[in-house]
Structure 1
Amino acid sequence: MNKTLHIVGGGMAGSEAAWQAAHMGVQVVIHEMRPKVETFAHQTGNLAEMVCSNSFRSDDSEQNAVGLLHWEMRAANGLIMAAADKHRLPAGGALAVDRDPFAQWVTDNLKNHPNITVQDAEITSLPDSGSWIFATGPLTSAKLGDAIAQETGTDRLAFFDAIAPIVYADSIDMDVAWLQSRYDKGETEEEQKAYLNCPMTKDQYETFIDALLAADKTEFHEGETAGYFDGCLPIEVMAERGRETLRFGPMKPIGLTNAHKPDEKPYAVVQLRRDNKLGTLYNIVGFQTKMKYGAQTTVFRTIPGLENASFARLGGIHRNTFLNSPTLLDDQMRLRSRPYIRFAGQVTGVEGYVESAAMGLLAGRLAAAEILGQPIASPPRTTAMGALIHHITGGAEAKTFQPMNVNFGLLPPVEGLRGGRRGRKDRYKAYTDRAKIHFQDWLSGQS
């Protein structure tokens, strides 16, 4: 067998897969089409570039499934988590990163690794032999996408993914906005003030909703019938589901006190999270949108404190494609029709930066072990990684398969624990305690 592992795509999954395989002693070639071939969402040629949010979500490894996934990736010497920890920004209990230095650090570490070569070339077809991982993500190029569709013999599933806008901090009116994390969450004062908050009265909220509903939106091309992933709905789609939907979602006012008017309870609040270490950029939390650019500036400037907002990036929407993995991939993430090809990342039907990187971590380790003649099993289902790979490679119902974030519902129950909301804290702690033991055992079995 060829001892070189080829990885197509240098996003979160491809970068992590390369790092893991290289550290196991395998020669790796990363094929990344950027910057020669651009995409709608990317702005640089760096590996692991973040194009949507800059948050890896909760870092609580005892009460949150994605926090548990963070823990497992750190335990496995994950490059993406090391980069996130190094470039962390205050975000209350969440793990947010300074996106540009983050991607540059990942790029530098991969390019400087003696076992890794990076080639900026587009792969447009499936290979006939070798050892390959395709981690091309939701923005798989049209030619490669057609080749994958032709090989799988089935239409690729798809949904639309939206991007939130980013605002220059010095254009925000701080006589209106104030710094506070919800419920003052965070161990330091900086973390407790990780968010900018723009308050709204009921009349201001109603005016905003009216403007949002009436705004010009991006129209899809004929034949595009994909739906949305519920974890990344455009705000106008949420508003169409009911005028109060946003007020109970990203604009909920609970846990916040207006520092300028502490006796007045806001009817709704727009939160902005720091997007870079300098604090010069803030993204509007949960404000993914399909509004046209002109409409975005008009509508967002109706938000108190953002009347003179200047935008470093406006929101957008793109088609996000993924495989029907339960029917196409085996439990080693190999394409059943061409078992020398693995898939990893969002294209497999996981949702989120962390989940994508985790599937890259597994694909890299599984492929490297196979190349070295020492194949390994996937982690047990009682772990976050094991639960995810089981879900996408056979645990999910193929007919209704949709992208999935990691959650405790994917893990088998812990025996002897009672259900119900009152016991949820103990139940989640039991899940994570068991997962950490089983994941460490899995890692130990490879040494």
Structure 2
Amino acid sequence: MFVDYYEILGIDSNATEEQIKKAYRLNAVKFHPDKHFDDPFFTKKFQEIKDAYAILSNIDSRSSFDSIYQSYFKTTKNESLEQSTTYSYSFNNAEKQERKKTREKEEEKFRYDPFKQFYSPFDREQQDTPQFNPTQNMWGETLSNNLEFFKLPTRIGKIIIGFSDLIQDAQPMKSSQKFKKNINFFLFGLIPGLIIYFVARLEDPIWIIIWFAVPSLGSLLLSAANNDFAHTNLYIGINGFAQFSFVDKRENLPIDLEVNFNEMTDFYSHYTEVKRNYVYQHTNFVYVCLNRVTGKLFLVREGDFKKTSDIKIQGVMLNFYRTIEKYWTVYLLDRLESDLQKDGHIIFSLYSHEKNAFQKYIKVGIGFITFIKPGGQEFTYKFNDIKKMYSKGGELRIQHKNFEKTMFFFKSGNEDVIPMINLCNRLFFYKAIEILLGYSI
């Protein structure tokens, strides 16, 4: 089956190399699966775009395709010039109409649909938040109808996902209810002591006190800890995120956070694995949302989790931060082309969480990547001079055109290794490089 790669990218068959690259960037961002929860339509479309770029960006493969392209669309030799002209006009006109219908259908899929988590360019421009409860959680699952969202954000655009741990019409416990609950927990805590007392026939008064007091006090503390009427709402929208948490009353909000992505410049995430005697214990994490120009910190969160546990049970807040990073990356992808046209490059910085300090580190543009040393010196690689770029662990590796692997472990040529541990907007960096290079790293 013939596949028209020019049509996929929306360009003419006489498009220049720069026009092909630009069309690829625009389409790759528009149909990127990350923007649409891996919807099959967009995943398939994105792969078609990558395939089209792989063919048309290479001189040899494009030349071969052009031969097939011309053969497919040429008229038969027996037709007269008039017939050929008429056919050509009719065909081109029909082709344009078909392409228009295809584009309209694709645009329709982008328009607002409250039952889908993908969104359109129209939604990106909307900063105000429609006052409707979210319908889906961070996993794309439908939220229960009995959840209460006690406060809605106002300036994060269309809400994509939400979370609430509050049931509708729930009220704090009365003092008498708390007292009764504490007594029940205390009495329940006496049971282990009674069992040990009669089974082990304890006579030592110290051990008797320990076995009765410790479980009872533990149960009492557990009961008291669960008496607090404290709940949280979380939201992620197309243009920002919000967290609202109250204690005792819905109006008492110790956490009242709402951030529009237009206010941010950087997202920093860092993971550190903790081991004891070479055995994995847990992973510490740090998430920071900030503006490197003003120095304002919008969100700073630290904690730990077990990487061996299922991602869904690693904690709601941890997955909330991960999802913020995902949609922040999508926001930056949507700005990729305009930022490149405006500044000619995109800046990526290193960040010190301890010092709250930045250092410019990487400039990425169309056809090049520049590394900035602490003293301000710059070293630039042109993509055409790179044989391969890939990531390994916390490092970016760049192989020069002279790099070769020989027998066994022997190598020749140059390969540079660049640390990426403290890079801000790291997820966006890899997505942007994929779009600018034409392949994943």
Same fold (TM over 0.5): no
**Higher fraction of strand:** 2
TM-score class normalised by the smaller sequence: under 0.3
TM-score (norm 1): 0.21
- Larger radius of gyration between Structure 1 and Structure 2: 2
Which protein, 1 or 2, shows the higher relative CO under an 8 Å CA cutoff with sep ≥ 6?
1
